[in-house]
Amino acid sequence: MFLVNPKSKQPLYEQLVDQLRKQLFLGVIEAGQALPSVRQLATELGINPNTIQKAYRRMEAEGMIISVPGKGSFISDDLADMLKKQRDEQLEKTRQQIKTCREMGLDRETIERLTDEVYKEEDVC
């Protein structure tokens, strides 16, 4: 479910949050699904449980997960609405950025080339 790169400049807890977010967007993880316990995930990844706890707290603050005392952490049931809202907001930001680029004289081919580059970078990761 999760992998971390200790050599990355990105803190481990942020790597975990980003990975969960990506898995949620891709539909790999669904609403209501249980996450591994803090201890279990810390053991699997070989990192400090405090790091896992910090990631889980961040995920909970962002509304991605819900922690139930004595039961564990679960993907939020409000996930679909949250993801739709985030996607809509991001699309609007992207639309505004493209509009700004056009107003600055950038042509469609430049923007399309940049988009292709970004998608190719993602395929490499």
**pLDDT at position 81:** 78
Instruction: Tell me which fold the domain 12-77 belongs to.
Output: Arc Repressor Mutant, subunit A (1.10.10)
**pLDDT at position 83:** 79
Check pLDDT > 60 for residue 108: yes
**pLDDT at position 19:** 92
Closest CA to 76 of 89, 88, 59, 90: 59
Q: How many residues does the chain have?
A: 125
What residues does each domain of the chain span? 12-77, 85-124
pLDDT, one tens digit per residue, over 57-98 is 999 998 889 999 999 999 998 877 777 788 899 999 999 999
Check pLDDT > 60 for residue 125: no
- DSSP state, 33? P
Top pLDDT among 35 and 24 is at 35
* Number of alpha helices (DSSP H) and beta strands (DSSP E) in the chain: 5, 2
